[in-house]
Chains A and B, each alone.
Chain A
Protein backbone atom coordinates (compact mmCIF):
# COMPACT_ATOMS: atom_id res chain seq x y z
CA UNK A 1 0.00 0.00 0.00
CA UNK A 2 1.58 3.26 -1.09
CA UNK A 3 0.69 6.73 0.06
CA UNK A 4 1.21 10.33 -0.98
CA UNK A 5 2.26 11.33 -4.46
CA UNK A 6 3.55 7.79 -5.13
CA UNK A 7 0.17 6.21 -4.43
CA UNK A 8 -0.64 3.75 -7.18
CA UNK A 9 2.90 3.95 -8.59
CA UNK A 10 4.69 0.66 -9.20
CA UNK A 11 8.38 0.54 -8.33
CA UNK A 12 10.63 3.50 -7.78
CA UNK A 13 9.15 7.01 -7.57
CA UNK A 14 12.23 9.20 -8.07
CA UNK A 15 12.10 12.97 -7.74
CA UNK A 16 14.58 15.83 -7.56
CA UNK A 17 14.23 18.80 -5.26
CA UNK A 18 15.78 21.91 -6.78
CA UNK A 19 15.63 24.52 -4.07
CA UNK A 20 16.76 28.14 -3.99
CA UNK A 21 16.40 28.74 -0.26
CA UNK A 22 16.41 26.78 2.98
CA UNK A 23 12.72 27.56 3.41
CA UNK A 24 12.02 26.04 0.02
CA UNK A 25 13.94 22.89 0.95
CA UNK A 26 12.00 22.55 4.20
CA UNK A 27 8.68 23.24 2.49
CA UNK A 28 9.20 20.08 0.41
CA UNK A 29 11.15 17.95 2.88
CA UNK A 30 9.22 18.28 6.14
CA UNK A 31 5.77 17.27 4.81
CA UNK A 32 7.38 14.42 2.85
CA UNK A 33 9.06 13.06 5.96
CA UNK A 34 6.20 13.56 8.39
CA UNK A 35 3.77 12.10 5.86
CA UNK A 36 5.90 8.98 5.73
CA UNK A 37 6.05 8.60 9.49
CA UNK A 38 2.32 9.21 9.75
CA UNK A 39 1.65 6.46 7.20
CA UNK A 40 3.88 4.10 9.18
CA UNK A 41 6.49 4.00 6.41
CA UNK A 42 10.23 3.68 7.13
CA UNK A 43 11.45 7.24 6.50
CA UNK A 44 15.11 8.23 6.11
CA UNK A 45 17.22 11.34 5.61
CA UNK A 46 20.75 11.04 4.08
CA UNK A 47 21.88 14.65 4.21
CA UNK A 48 25.18 16.35 4.84
CA UNK A 49 25.86 18.04 8.14
CA UNK A 50 24.35 21.45 7.43
CA UNK A 51 21.15 20.36 5.74
CA UNK A 52 20.64 17.49 8.19
CA UNK A 53 20.80 19.97 11.09
CA UNK A 54 18.38 22.25 9.26
CA UNK A 55 15.84 19.47 8.72
CA UNK A 56 16.30 18.09 12.20
CA UNK A 57 15.52 21.48 13.73
CA UNK A 58 12.37 21.76 11.65
CA UNK A 59 11.02 18.36 12.74
CA UNK A 60 9.21 17.73 16.00
CA UNK A 61 11.21 16.01 18.72
CA UNK A 62 11.21 12.18 18.34
CA UNK A 63 9.63 12.52 14.93
CA UNK A 64 10.41 8.93 13.99
CA UNK A 65 12.46 10.05 10.98
CA UNK A 66 15.76 8.19 10.78
CA UNK A 67 18.98 10.00 9.83
CA UNK A 68 21.78 8.28 7.92
CA UNK A 69 25.25 9.83 7.57
CA UNK A 70 25.54 11.06 4.00
CA UNK A 71 29.35 10.88 4.09
CA UNK A 72 29.12 7.12 4.67
CA UNK A 73 26.18 6.41 2.38
CA UNK A 74 27.51 8.49 -0.52
CA UNK A 75 31.19 7.60 -0.39
CA UNK A 76 31.04 5.77 -3.73
CA UNK A 77 28.08 5.29 -6.10
CA UNK A 78 28.40 1.50 -6.42
CA UNK A 79 28.62 1.21 -2.63
CA UNK A 80 25.61 3.50 -2.17
CA UNK A 81 23.54 1.32 -4.51
CA UNK A 82 24.64 -1.79 -2.66
CA UNK A 83 23.84 -0.41 0.80
CA UNK A 84 20.53 1.14 -0.25
CA UNK A 85 19.43 -2.06 -1.98
CA UNK A 86 20.26 -3.92 1.22
CA UNK A 87 18.28 -1.41 3.29
CA UNK A 88 15.32 -1.60 0.90
CA UNK A 89 15.40 -5.40 0.91
CA UNK A 90 15.34 -5.44 4.71
CA UNK A 91 12.54 -2.92 4.94
CA UNK A 92 10.30 -4.63 2.40
CA UNK A 93 11.01 -8.02 3.99
CA UNK A 94 9.86 -6.47 7.27
CA UNK A 95 6.58 -5.58 5.59
CA UNK A 96 7.04 -1.97 4.50
CA UNK A 97 4.49 -0.96 1.85
CA UNK A 98 6.63 2.04 0.94
CA UNK A 99 9.99 3.43 2.01
CA UNK A 100 10.72 7.14 1.88
CA UNK A 101 14.24 8.55 1.57
CA UNK A 102 15.56 12.03 0.94
CA UNK A 103 19.25 12.39 0.23
CA UNK A 104 21.89 14.60 -1.29
CA UNK A 105 24.80 13.24 -3.28
CA UNK A 106 28.18 15.01 -3.35
CA UNK A 107 28.29 17.75 -5.97
CA UNK A 108 31.90 18.51 -6.78
CA UNK A 109 32.87 19.15 -10.36
CA UNK A 110 35.59 16.50 -10.40
CA UNK A 111 33.46 13.56 -9.33
CA UNK A 112 30.00 14.66 -10.43
CA UNK A 113 30.12 12.47 -13.55
CA UNK A 114 29.90 9.24 -11.58
CA UNK A 115 27.15 10.64 -9.32
CA UNK A 116 25.23 11.66 -12.45
CA UNK A 117 25.56 8.06 -13.61
CA UNK A 118 24.35 6.98 -10.16
CA UNK A 119 21.30 9.23 -10.38
CA UNK A 120 20.46 7.74 -13.75
CA UNK A 121 21.19 4.11 -12.85
CA UNK A 122 19.06 4.07 -9.71
CA UNK A 123 15.91 4.61 -11.80
CA UNK A 124 16.55 0.99 -12.74
CA UNK A 125 18.46 -0.25 -9.67
CA UNK A 126 15.76 0.65 -7.14
CA UNK A 127 12.79 -0.04 -9.37
CA UNK A 128 12.03 -3.40 -7.79
CA UNK A 129 11.22 -1.65 -4.49
CA UNK A 130 8.27 0.49 -3.40
CA UNK A 131 10.62 3.42 -2.88
CA UNK A 132 9.72 7.09 -2.95
CA UNK A 133 12.87 9.14 -2.82
CA UNK A 134 13.92 12.71 -3.33
CA UNK A 135 17.37 14.02 -4.20
CA UNK A 136 17.99 17.56 -3.05
CA UNK A 137 20.11 20.07 -4.98
CA UNK A 138 20.85 23.57 -3.78
CA UNK A 139 20.40 25.72 -6.90
CA UNK A 140 22.42 28.52 -5.27
CA UNK A 141 25.65 26.54 -5.32
CA UNK A 142 25.09 23.75 -7.86
CA UNK A 143 26.75 24.41 -11.23
CA UNK A 144 24.45 24.71 -14.23
CA UNK A 145 25.81 21.61 -16.03
CA UNK A 146 25.09 19.56 -12.92
CA UNK A 147 21.53 20.90 -12.79
CA UNK A 148 21.14 19.93 -16.43
CA UNK A 149 22.21 16.36 -15.56
CA UNK A 150 19.80 16.37 -12.60
CA UNK A 151 16.99 17.21 -15.01
CA UNK A 152 18.00 14.38 -17.32
CA UNK A 153 18.32 11.77 -14.58
CA UNK A 154 15.15 12.50 -12.56
CA UNK A 155 11.73 11.79 -14.04
CA UNK A 156 10.17 14.57 -11.98
CA UNK A 157 10.69 17.46 -9.59
CA UNK A 158 9.07 17.63 -6.17
CA UNK A 159 7.58 21.06 -5.47
CA UNK A 160 6.34 22.73 -2.31
CA UNK A 161 2.74 21.86 -1.56
CA UNK A 162 3.20 18.17 -2.28
CA UNK A 163 2.91 18.54 -6.03
CA UNK A 164 5.27 17.28 -8.73
CA UNK A 165 6.29 18.43 -12.18
CA UNK A 166 7.66 16.12 -14.85
CA UNK A 167 11.20 16.82 -15.94
CA UNK A 168 10.95 17.55 -19.68
CA UNK A 169 14.51 16.43 -20.37
CA UNK A 170 14.34 13.17 -18.41
CA UNK A 171 16.26 10.49 -20.31
CA UNK A 172 15.90 6.73 -19.92
CA UNK A 173 18.90 5.39 -18.00
CA UNK A 174 19.94 3.00 -20.76
CA UNK A 175 20.16 5.95 -23.13
CA UNK A 176 21.80 8.35 -20.67
CA UNK A 177 24.35 5.80 -19.49
CA UNK A 178 25.26 4.82 -23.05
CA UNK A 179 26.25 8.39 -23.88
CA UNK A 180 29.84 9.54 -23.52
CA UNK A 181 30.39 11.28 -20.19
CA UNK A 182 34.09 12.07 -20.24
CA UNK A 183 35.54 12.78 -16.80
CA UNK A 184 37.15 16.09 -15.90
CA UNK A 185 40.86 15.61 -16.73
CA UNK A 186 43.03 15.39 -13.65
CA UNK A 187 45.83 18.01 -13.78
CA UNK A 188 48.36 15.22 -13.27
CA UNK A 189 47.34 13.80 -16.64
CA UNK A 190 48.72 16.85 -18.45
CA UNK A 191 52.20 15.71 -17.45
CA UNK A 192 54.03 12.66 -18.77
CA UNK A 193 52.98 9.54 -16.88
CA UNK A 194 55.20 8.40 -14.02
CA UNK A 195 55.02 4.88 -15.47
CA UNK A 196 53.69 3.68 -18.81
CA UNK A 197 53.45 -0.02 -19.67
CA UNK A 198 52.38 -1.67 -22.90
CA UNK A 199 50.37 -4.91 -22.59
CA UNK A 200 51.11 -5.42 -18.88
CA UNK A 201 50.09 -8.59 -17.08
CA UNK A 202 47.80 -7.99 -14.08
CA UNK A 203 50.83 -8.68 -11.88
CA UNK A 204 52.97 -6.08 -13.64
CA UNK A 205 50.12 -3.57 -13.36
CA UNK A 206 49.82 -4.22 -9.61
CA UNK A 207 53.56 -3.78 -9.26
CA UNK A 208 53.41 -0.44 -11.11
CA UNK A 209 50.78 0.86 -8.66
CA UNK A 210 52.77 -0.30 -5.64
CA UNK A 211 55.83 1.44 -7.12
CA UNK A 212 53.84 4.69 -7.49
CA UNK A 213 52.97 4.57 -3.80
CA UNK A 214 55.42 6.84 -2.06
CA UNK A 215 53.56 6.71 1.21
CA UNK A 216 51.32 9.65 0.26
CA UNK A 217 48.10 7.64 0.71
CA UNK A 218 46.61 5.44 3.42
CA UNK A 219 47.53 1.79 2.82
CA UNK A 220 43.87 0.84 2.33
CA UNK A 221 43.52 3.37 -0.52
CA UNK A 222 46.59 1.95 -2.26
CA UNK A 223 45.34 -1.62 -1.81
CA UNK A 224 41.97 -0.60 -3.24
CA UNK A 225 43.65 0.92 -6.28
CA UNK A 226 45.84 -2.18 -6.72
CA UNK A 227 42.72 -4.37 -6.79
CA UNK A 228 40.95 -2.00 -9.18
CA UNK A 229 43.86 -1.80 -11.61
CA UNK A 230 44.38 -5.57 -11.48
CA UNK A 231 40.71 -6.20 -12.28
CA UNK A 232 40.72 -3.59 -15.06
CA UNK A 233 43.82 -4.99 -16.76
CA UNK A 234 42.37 -8.50 -16.41
CA UNK A 235 39.18 -7.33 -18.14
CA UNK A 236 41.18 -5.57 -20.86
CA UNK A 237 43.11 -8.78 -21.54
CA UNK A 238 40.00 -10.98 -21.48
CA UNK A 239 37.38 -8.82 -23.15
CA UNK A 240 39.19 -5.86 -24.68
CA UNK A 241 41.48 -5.74 -27.67
CA UNK A 242 45.23 -5.21 -27.71
CA UNK A 243 47.32 -3.22 -27.34
CA UNK A 244 46.55 -2.46 -23.69
CA UNK A 245 48.25 0.61 -22.25
CA UNK A 246 48.66 1.29 -18.53
CA UNK A 247 49.58 4.78 -17.36
CA UNK A 248 50.25 5.74 -13.75
CA UNK A 249 50.64 9.29 -12.40
CA UNK A 250 51.89 9.62 -8.85
CA UNK A 251 50.94 12.94 -7.26
CA UNK A 252 51.47 14.48 -3.85
CA UNK A 253 48.05 13.45 -2.54
CA UNK A 254 46.74 10.97 -5.09
CA UNK A 255 47.56 8.33 -7.66
CA UNK A 256 45.82 8.41 -11.04
CA UNK A 257 45.80 5.34 -13.30
CA UNK A 258 44.40 4.86 -16.78
CA UNK A 259 43.99 1.58 -18.66
CA UNK A 260 43.31 1.86 -22.38
CA UNK A 261 42.49 -0.94 -24.78
CA UNK A 262 41.21 -1.04 -28.34
CA UNK A 263 37.91 -2.79 -27.58
CA UNK A 264 34.51 -1.10 -27.50
CA UNK A 265 34.13 -1.18 -23.70
CA UNK A 266 31.35 -2.95 -21.82
CA UNK A 267 27.97 -3.33 -23.52
CA UNK A 268 25.99 -3.20 -20.28
CA UNK A 269 25.20 0.47 -19.53
CA UNK A 270 25.00 -0.32 -15.80
CA UNK A 271 28.45 -1.95 -15.76
CA UNK A 272 30.40 -0.83 -12.73
CA UNK A 273 27.45 0.55 -10.82
CA UNK A 274 25.56 -2.71 -10.46
CA UNK A 275 27.10 -6.14 -9.91
CA UNK A 276 26.77 -7.94 -13.23
CA UNK A 277 24.74 -11.11 -13.00
CA UNK A 278 26.72 -12.47 -15.90
CA UNK A 279 30.31 -12.71 -14.71
CA UNK A 280 31.40 -13.83 -18.17
CA UNK A 281 31.24 -10.24 -19.43
CA UNK A 282 33.72 -8.92 -16.88
CA UNK A 283 31.05 -6.82 -15.20
CA UNK A 284 31.86 -8.04 -11.73
CA UNK A 285 35.46 -6.88 -12.06
CA UNK A 286 34.32 -3.42 -13.14
CA UNK A 287 31.88 -3.31 -10.22
CA UNK A 288 34.70 -4.22 -7.82
CA UNK A 289 36.79 -1.47 -9.41
CA UNK A 290 34.00 1.02 -8.69
CA UNK A 291 33.92 -0.20 -5.07
CA UNK A 292 37.67 0.19 -4.64
CA UNK A 293 38.60 3.72 -5.80
CA UNK A 294 37.65 7.29 -4.96
CA UNK A 295 36.71 7.92 -8.56
CA UNK A 296 36.26 5.75 -11.63
CA UNK A 297 35.29 6.95 -15.09
CA UNK A 298 35.31 5.30 -18.48
CA UNK A 299 35.14 6.82 -21.92
CA UNK A 300 35.88 6.03 -25.53
CA UNK A 301 38.44 8.31 -27.15
CA UNK A 302 40.78 8.55 -30.11
CA UNK A 303 43.22 6.10 -28.57
CA UNK A 304 40.65 3.49 -27.50
CA UNK A 305 38.47 2.68 -24.52
CA UNK A 306 39.95 4.19 -21.34
CA UNK A 307 39.10 3.58 -17.72
CA UNK A 308 40.54 6.08 -15.27
CA UNK A 309 40.88 5.31 -11.56
CA UNK A 310 41.90 7.68 -8.77
CA UNK A 311 43.01 6.86 -5.24
CA UNK A 312 43.41 9.70 -2.75
CA UNK A 313 42.23 13.25 -3.23
CA UNK A 314 39.80 13.75 -6.11
CA UNK A 315 38.97 17.36 -5.22
CA UNK A 316 41.56 19.14 -7.28
CA UNK A 317 41.11 22.09 -9.58
Chain B
Protein backbone atom coordinates (compact mmCIF):
# COMPACT_ATOMS: atom_id res chain seq x y z
CA UNK B 1 0.00 0.00 0.00
CA UNK B 2 2.82 2.42 0.79
CA UNK B 3 4.21 2.61 -2.71
CA UNK B 4 5.80 5.85 -3.75
CA UNK B 5 3.86 6.23 -6.94
CA UNK B 6 0.76 7.86 -5.53
CA UNK B 7 -0.37 8.64 -9.02
CA UNK B 8 -3.24 6.23 -9.42
CA UNK B 9 -5.57 7.76 -11.97
CA UNK B 10 -3.17 10.56 -12.83
CA UNK B 11 -1.66 11.02 -16.23
CA UNK B 12 1.76 11.77 -14.83
CA UNK B 13 4.55 9.23 -15.02
CA UNK B 14 6.81 10.48 -12.30
CA UNK B 15 6.04 9.56 -8.70
CA UNK B 16 5.51 12.19 -6.03
CA UNK B 17 8.39 10.88 -3.83
CA UNK B 18 6.94 12.33 -0.63
CA UNK B 19 4.87 9.84 1.31
CA UNK B 20 3.41 9.71 4.77
CA UNK B 21 2.81 6.61 6.83
CA UNK B 22 0.63 6.92 9.92
CA UNK B 23 1.04 3.62 11.69
CA UNK B 24 -0.40 1.87 14.70
CA UNK B 25 2.25 -0.84 14.79
CA UNK B 26 5.92 0.29 14.61
CA UNK B 27 6.64 -2.82 12.54
CA UNK B 28 4.71 -1.13 9.68
CA UNK B 29 7.28 1.65 9.62
CA UNK B 30 10.19 -0.77 9.79
CA UNK B 31 8.87 -2.64 6.80
CA UNK B 32 7.92 0.43 4.74
CA UNK B 33 11.23 2.18 5.50
CA UNK B 34 13.18 -0.92 4.52
CA UNK B 35 11.46 -1.09 1.12
CA UNK B 36 11.65 2.66 0.56
CA UNK B 37 15.33 3.00 1.40
CA UNK B 38 16.19 -0.24 -0.41
CA UNK B 39 14.74 1.23 -3.62
CA UNK B 40 16.86 4.35 -3.04
CA UNK B 41 20.05 2.32 -2.65
CA UNK B 42 19.26 0.49 -5.87
CA UNK B 43 18.91 3.87 -7.58
CA UNK B 44 22.26 5.09 -6.32
CA UNK B 45 20.87 7.46 -3.72
CA UNK B 46 22.24 8.21 -0.29
CA UNK B 47 19.71 6.88 2.21
CA UNK B 48 19.08 8.08 5.75
CA UNK B 49 17.14 6.49 8.55
CA UNK B 50 15.92 8.69 11.40
CA UNK B 51 13.82 7.11 14.15
CA UNK B 52 14.05 6.41 17.88
CA UNK B 53 14.20 2.68 17.19
CA UNK B 54 17.11 1.29 15.16
CA UNK B 55 16.29 -0.79 12.11
CA UNK B 56 16.34 -4.46 12.93
CA UNK B 57 16.64 -7.50 10.72
CA UNK B 58 17.43 -5.39 7.65
CA UNK B 59 19.53 -6.63 4.76
CA UNK B 60 20.52 -3.07 3.84
CA UNK B 61 22.52 -0.51 5.73
CA UNK B 62 21.24 3.04 5.69
CA UNK B 63 23.02 5.94 7.36
CA UNK B 64 21.57 6.14 10.86
CA UNK B 65 20.96 9.77 11.76
CA UNK B 66 20.05 10.80 15.29
CA UNK B 67 16.71 12.66 15.32
CA UNK B 68 18.12 15.47 17.43
CA UNK B 69 20.86 16.14 14.88
CA UNK B 70 18.34 16.98 12.16
CA UNK B 71 15.35 18.39 14.10
CA UNK B 72 14.97 20.56 17.20
CA UNK B 73 14.09 18.33 20.14
CA UNK B 74 12.45 20.72 22.58
CA UNK B 75 11.21 23.59 20.41
CA UNK B 76 9.09 24.08 17.32
CA UNK B 77 10.74 23.56 13.98
CA UNK B 78 11.58 26.56 11.83
CA UNK B 79 10.17 25.36 8.50
CA UNK B 80 12.65 27.29 6.36
CA UNK B 81 15.67 26.25 8.41
CA UNK B 82 14.49 22.63 8.49
CA UNK B 83 14.16 22.58 4.73
CA UNK B 84 17.52 24.32 4.25
CA UNK B 85 19.21 21.56 6.21
CA UNK B 86 17.83 18.88 3.89
CA UNK B 87 18.57 20.98 0.80
CA UNK B 88 22.17 21.25 1.91
CA UNK B 89 22.34 17.52 2.63
CA UNK B 90 20.92 16.79 -0.81
CA UNK B 91 23.57 18.97 -2.46
CA UNK B 92 26.21 17.22 -0.36
CA UNK B 93 24.96 13.78 -1.44
CA UNK B 94 25.10 14.86 -5.08
CA UNK B 95 28.62 16.21 -4.55
CA UNK B 96 29.60 12.84 -3.14
CA UNK B 97 28.42 11.14 -6.32
CA UNK B 98 25.02 9.91 -5.21
CA UNK B 99 22.00 10.44 -7.47
CA UNK B 100 20.05 12.03 -4.63
CA UNK B 101 19.07 11.83 -1.00
CA UNK B 102 16.34 9.64 0.40
CA UNK B 103 15.13 9.86 3.98
CA UNK B 104 12.85 7.69 6.10
CA UNK B 105 12.02 9.56 9.29
CA UNK B 106 9.76 8.93 12.26
CA UNK B 107 9.63 12.16 14.25
CA UNK B 108 6.58 11.32 16.39
CA UNK B 109 8.52 11.72 19.63
CA UNK B 110 9.43 15.31 18.73
CA UNK B 111 5.82 16.45 18.18
CA UNK B 112 4.27 16.72 21.59
CA UNK B 113 2.42 20.06 21.46
CA UNK B 114 -0.11 21.55 19.02
CA UNK B 115 2.42 24.29 18.21
CA UNK B 116 5.02 21.67 17.28
CA UNK B 117 2.52 19.85 15.05
CA UNK B 118 1.47 23.12 13.40
CA UNK B 119 5.04 24.15 12.61
CA UNK B 120 5.88 20.66 11.40
CA UNK B 121 2.88 20.62 9.03
CA UNK B 122 4.07 23.95 7.56
CA UNK B 123 7.55 22.47 7.25
CA UNK B 124 6.16 19.39 5.46
CA UNK B 125 4.45 21.68 2.92
CA UNK B 126 7.79 23.37 2.18
CA UNK B 127 9.52 20.00 1.91
CA UNK B 128 6.83 18.86 -0.52
CA UNK B 129 7.55 21.83 -2.81
CA UNK B 130 11.26 21.04 -2.69
CA UNK B 131 10.75 17.34 -3.42
CA UNK B 132 8.87 18.08 -6.63
CA UNK B 133 11.92 19.78 -8.16
CA UNK B 134 14.96 18.23 -6.46
CA UNK B 135 16.46 14.74 -6.15
CA UNK B 136 15.22 14.43 -2.59
CA UNK B 137 12.56 12.02 -1.42
CA UNK B 138 11.06 11.31 1.97
CA UNK B 139 8.95 8.80 3.83
CA UNK B 140 7.53 10.57 6.89
CA UNK B 141 6.11 8.32 9.59
CA UNK B 142 3.93 9.21 12.56
CA UNK B 143 2.68 6.99 15.34
CA UNK B 144 -1.10 7.33 15.33
CA UNK B 145 -1.50 5.74 18.75
CA UNK B 146 1.06 8.01 20.36
CA UNK B 147 0.16 11.34 18.80
CA UNK B 148 -3.57 10.81 18.27
CA UNK B 149 -5.64 10.71 15.11
CA UNK B 150 -6.19 14.45 14.85
CA UNK B 151 -2.52 15.38 14.80
CA UNK B 152 -1.67 12.41 12.56
CA UNK B 153 -4.36 13.46 10.05
CA UNK B 154 -3.10 17.05 10.02
CA UNK B 155 0.32 15.80 8.94
CA UNK B 156 -0.86 13.06 6.59
CA UNK B 157 -3.10 15.40 4.58
CA UNK B 158 -0.21 17.60 3.44
CA UNK B 159 1.52 14.66 1.75
CA UNK B 160 0.69 13.65 -1.84
CA UNK B 161 0.84 10.00 -0.80
CA UNK B 162 -0.87 9.08 2.44
CA UNK B 163 -3.92 7.42 3.94
CA UNK B 164 -5.57 10.81 4.56
CA UNK B 165 -9.09 11.02 3.08
CA UNK B 166 -8.15 14.30 1.42
CA UNK B 167 -4.73 15.72 0.53
CA UNK B 168 -3.32 19.13 -0.36
CA UNK B 169 0.12 19.11 -1.94
CA UNK B 170 2.37 20.54 -4.62
CA UNK B 171 1.47 19.29 -8.10
CA UNK B 172 3.96 18.40 -10.77
CA UNK B 173 5.43 21.29 -12.74
CA UNK B 174 2.97 23.02 -15.02
CA UNK B 175 -0.10 21.61 -13.32
CA UNK B 176 -0.89 24.49 -11.00
CA UNK B 177 -0.11 26.10 -7.68
CA UNK B 178 -1.54 23.36 -5.48
CA UNK B 179 -3.15 19.96 -5.90
CA UNK B 180 -6.25 18.69 -4.10
CA UNK B 181 -6.95 14.96 -3.93
CA UNK B 182 -9.40 12.64 -2.23
CA UNK B 183 -12.74 13.72 -0.77
CA UNK B 184 -13.46 17.10 0.78
CA UNK B 185 -16.71 17.25 2.74
CA UNK B 186 -18.12 17.96 6.17
CA UNK B 187 -15.90 15.36 7.81
CA UNK B 188 -12.64 16.66 6.32
CA UNK B 189 -13.41 20.36 5.94
CA UNK B 190 -11.71 21.53 9.15
CA UNK B 191 -8.59 19.65 8.11
CA UNK B 192 -8.85 21.09 4.61
CA UNK B 193 -9.18 24.70 5.80
CA UNK B 194 -6.28 24.25 8.21
CA UNK B 195 -4.07 22.81 5.45
CA UNK B 196 -5.13 25.60 3.10
CA UNK B 197 -4.14 28.17 5.69
CA UNK B 198 -0.81 26.48 6.40
CA UNK B 199 0.01 26.19 2.70
CA UNK B 200 -0.18 30.00 2.33
CA UNK B 201 -0.88 29.59 -1.39
CA UNK B 202 -0.03 32.36 -3.81
CA UNK B 203 -0.95 32.41 -7.48
CA UNK B 204 2.00 31.59 -9.71
CA UNK B 205 0.37 33.47 -12.57
CA UNK B 206 -2.74 35.58 -12.99
CA UNK B 207 -4.89 33.05 -11.18
CA UNK B 208 -4.49 30.52 -8.40
CA UNK B 209 -4.60 27.21 -10.27
CA UNK B 210 -5.72 24.18 -8.26
CA UNK B 211 -5.02 20.79 -9.77
CA UNK B 212 -7.99 18.62 -8.80
CA UNK B 213 -7.07 15.76 -11.07
CA UNK B 214 -7.20 13.24 -8.23
CA UNK B 215 -10.09 14.89 -6.43
CA UNK B 216 -12.92 12.40 -5.92
CA UNK B 217 -15.50 14.70 -4.34
CA UNK B 218 -15.93 18.25 -3.07
CA UNK B 219 -19.11 19.47 -1.42
CA UNK B 220 -20.75 22.85 -1.87
CA UNK B 221 -19.60 24.25 1.46
CA UNK B 222 -15.98 23.53 0.58
CA UNK B 223 -16.42 25.26 -2.78
CA UNK B 224 -17.79 28.29 -0.93
CA UNK B 225 -14.73 28.25 1.34
CA UNK B 226 -12.36 28.03 -1.63
CA UNK B 227 -14.20 30.92 -3.26
CA UNK B 228 -13.84 33.00 -0.09
CA UNK B 229 -10.20 32.00 0.25
CA UNK B 230 -9.40 33.19 -3.27
CA UNK B 231 -11.29 36.42 -2.65
CA UNK B 232 -9.32 37.03 0.54
CA UNK B 233 -6.11 36.55 -1.45
CA UNK B 234 -7.33 39.12 -3.94
CA UNK B 235 -7.24 36.60 -6.76
CA UNK B 236 -9.41 34.22 -8.75
CA UNK B 237 -8.93 30.49 -8.23
CA UNK B 238 -9.43 27.87 -10.93
CA UNK B 239 -10.17 24.32 -9.85
CA UNK B 240 -9.50 21.79 -12.60
CA UNK B 241 -11.26 18.57 -11.74
CA UNK B 242 -12.91 15.55 -13.26
CA UNK B 243 -15.60 15.60 -10.54
CA UNK B 244 -18.62 16.19 -12.75
CA UNK B 245 -20.76 17.77 -10.05
CA UNK B 246 -18.20 20.42 -9.06
CA UNK B 247 -18.75 22.70 -12.04
CA UNK B 248 -22.54 22.35 -11.76
CA UNK B 249 -22.40 23.24 -8.05
CA UNK B 250 -20.15 26.22 -8.74
CA UNK B 251 -22.71 27.42 -11.29
CA UNK B 252 -25.59 27.08 -8.82
CA UNK B 253 -23.64 28.89 -6.12
CA UNK B 254 -22.78 31.75 -8.51
CA UNK B 255 -19.25 31.94 -7.17
CA UNK B 256 -17.33 35.07 -8.01
CA UNK B 257 -13.74 34.16 -7.12
CA UNK B 258 -13.62 30.46 -7.96
CA UNK B 259 -14.05 28.95 -11.41
CA UNK B 260 -14.41 25.19 -11.83
CA UNK B 261 -13.17 23.68 -15.06
CA UNK B 262 -14.10 20.10 -15.85
CA UNK B 263 -10.95 18.25 -16.84
CA UNK B 264 -10.89 14.73 -18.18
Contact = CB atoms under 8 A, between A and B. Distances in A.
B88 interface: no
B133 interface: no
B245 A226 contact: yes
Given A201-B187, A203-B187, A284 B220 contact: yes
Contacts of A227: 219-220, 245, 249
Nearest to B224: A279
Nearest to B217: A206
Contacts of A292: 245
B13 interface: no
Interface residues of A, number: 22
B113 to A, nearest CB: 29
A288 B245 CA distance: 11
Contact of B219 (A82, A201, A234, A279): A234
A202 B165 contact: no
A224 B245 contact: yes
Contacts of B185: 202-203, 230, 234
A203 B220 contact: no
Interface string A206-241: 100000000000011001101100110010011000
A43 interface: no
Contacts of A98: none
B183 interface: yes
B186 A237 contact: yes
A288 B187 contact: no
A216 to B, nearest CB: 18
Given A202-B185, A203-B165, A231 B219 contact: yes
Contacts of A203: 165, 183, 185, 187, 217
Contacts of B220: 227, 231, 284-285, 288
Given A231-B220, A288-B249, A220 B186 contact: no
A284 B221 CA distance: 9
A46 interface: no
A294 interface: no
Interface in B217-250: 217, 219-221, 224, 244-245, 248-249
Given A206-B217, A288-B220, A234 B186 contact: yes
Given A201-B187, A238-B186, A230 B219 contact: yes
B213 to A, nearest CB: 17
Contacts of A284: 220
Interface of B: 165, 183, 185-187, 217, 219-221, 224, 244-245, 248-249, 252
9 contacts: A203-B165, A220-B244, A226-B217, A227-B245, A230-B185, A234-B219, A285-B221, A288-B252, A292-B245
Given A202-B185, A227-B220, 13 more contacts: A82-B252, A202-B187, A203-B183, A203-B217, A206-B183, A206-B217, A223-B244, A227-B249, A231-B220, A279-B224, A285-B220, A285-B221, A291-B252
Interchain residue pairs A-B with the least CB separation, the first 7: A234-B186, A227-B245, A202-B185, A223-B244, A223-B245, A201-B187, A288-B220
